[in-house]
Amino acid sequence: MSSAAAHRFDATILREYDIRGILGRTLGEADARALGRAFAIPVLEGGGKRVAVGRDGRLSSPALERELVAGLAESGIDVLRIGLGPTPMLYFASATAGVDGAIMVTGSHNPPDHNGFKIVLRGKSFYGPDIQRLGTIAATGAFRSGAGKVTSAELLDAYVARLLQDYDGKRALTVVWDAGNGATGEALVRLAAKLPGRHVLLNEKIDGTFPAHHPDPTEPETLRQLQATVAAEHADLGIAFDGDGDRIGVVDAKGRILWGDQLMTVLAADLVRTRPGATIIADVKASQVLFDEIARIGGTPLMWRTGHSIIKSKMAETGAPLAGEMSGHIFYADRYYGYDDALYAAVRLLGILGRSSETLASLRDRLPQVVNTPELRFPCADERKFAVVAEVRDRLRQAKAEMADIDGVRVRTKDGWWLLRASNTQAVLVARAEARDQQGLERLKSALVAELGRSGITPPKF
């Protein structure tokens, strides 16, 4: 063990699920170097030696990647550089390239001046206290020294071939794709060239300034161009990716958005047909319709905490072949590796639709009709947010309300349900409600507002 220069990360960048900061303000090249040196410790402790590194298309990513690789190598780690591509391609390297860890340089869907890192150790998400420990290692400068080998591999074709291997459609479709100038662009060009059907590509040129729109398919305004093109091309559906390709957005032929839970009902129905009884996981924000549908078709629904790292861990623990989040992270362990890969989810969706006589629009119309709010996010201080949720939970428990409290509180009434949880990544509270009809929804919203009022919080109107 050698004690090289210690390094202090800005306290805001070591987050629950990843490392993320703003260039020149909270994140710089010295942080990437120190991350490489610090991450080498848990890799070496576990008897590991080799780490894969990938990067997205942000303007700051090449420099961060260079320093990260240098930090790993000077700590004695052999580095496999896989270059520019989506985050799931880095996960693919982690699963198949014989490495002990993997780090993606990516700012995901965030603005151009943001960037960060997603980390895997021995095939598992590296998050929570593991990330905090990197801060401790760096602060003490307890690094190791060595001379790791650095090699490069071109993985894009192998990754795209693996995606195509599981395409099982029979009917060719017309699909509009929007890569949002994110890191999926080149993979998408190669994928679409080999899939049957007609494919119209939007914003497939990787450009870290994101000139067309923000690459976040949970924001409805980012899907306008996709919706318009689906209509103009008379396409069967449209598919969008976030900046690093671990989240998907889908619109049907009528231009309607399928939210993460609605998409999951389509994917789950197909999966349970081949794997009766299978456990299917969705996060606490998902519609009751999804959980009820999974049970109705003979699957085993499991509601779990929000967060891609947490969901992946729960899948590994339960052996669930499919999981999904409202945010558009979709995880397949059925025929695949159990990580969130939006391109893979797209291939499976096209297979389902290509084997079905029904359109996506009609599958969507067959779902039980409910009314719900979008996800409402409103500011609440980090020091206060968890306490507010705990107070609400304690009052409801006293009142003997029917609720799940695995992640915030999700309360069921005869009208439907409402959710209140604290974000793990931002100083915000998150709320959502869903009912069978509008009057029921108003009652749920009133109950939620009243509960927040008892803790001195006035949410914005929703």
| Interface map 223-242 toward Zn ion (x if CB under 5 A) | -------------------x
Nearer to Zn ion, 64 or 448 (CB): 64
Nearer to Zn ion, 116 or 299 (CB): 116
DSSP state string for 97-110 = S--SEEEEE--TTS
Contact status, residue 189 vs residue 213, Cβ threshold 8 Å: no
Subset of residues 340 to 399 that bind Zn ion, contact rule: CB under 5 A: none
- Distances from the Cα of 223 to the Cαs of 65, 139, 212, in angstroms? 30, 43, 11
Distance CA 86, CA 186 (A): 9
CB of 419 to Zn ion, least distance (A): 22
Contact status, residue 348 vs residue 341, Cβ threshold 8 Å: no
Per CB under 5 A, 246 contacts Zn ion: yes
Nearer to Zn ion, 110 or 227 (CB): 110
Subset of residues 94 to 123 that bind Zn ion, contact rule: CB under 5 A: 108
- The conformation of residue 374, written as its DSSP 8-state character, comes to -
Contact status, residue 284 vs residue 323, Cβ threshold 8 Å: no
Nearer to Zn ion, 138 or 311 (CB): 311
CB of 70 to Zn ion, least distance (A): 25
Provide the β-strand partners of residue 117.
19, 105
CB of 309 to Zn ion, least distance (A): 12
CB of 52 to Zn ion, least distance (A): 18
In single-letter form, the type of residue at position 393 comes to: R
- From 61, 94, 108, 125, the catalytic residue: 108
| Interface map 62-101 toward Zn ion (x if CB under 5 A) | ----------------------------------------
DSSP state string for 121-163 = ETTEE--THHHHHHHHHHHHTEE------EEE---HHHHHHHH
Closest chain position to Zn ion (CB): 108
Helices (H), 46-98: 61-73, 87-96
Q: Is 108 a catalytic residue?
A: yes
Per CB under 5 A, 125 contacts Zn ion: no
3-state SS, residue 126: coil
Place of tokens 């119309």: 365
CB of 23 to Zn ion, least distance (A): 18
Residues that bind Zn ion (CB under 5 A): 108, 242, 244, 246-247
Catalytic sites, residue numbers = 108
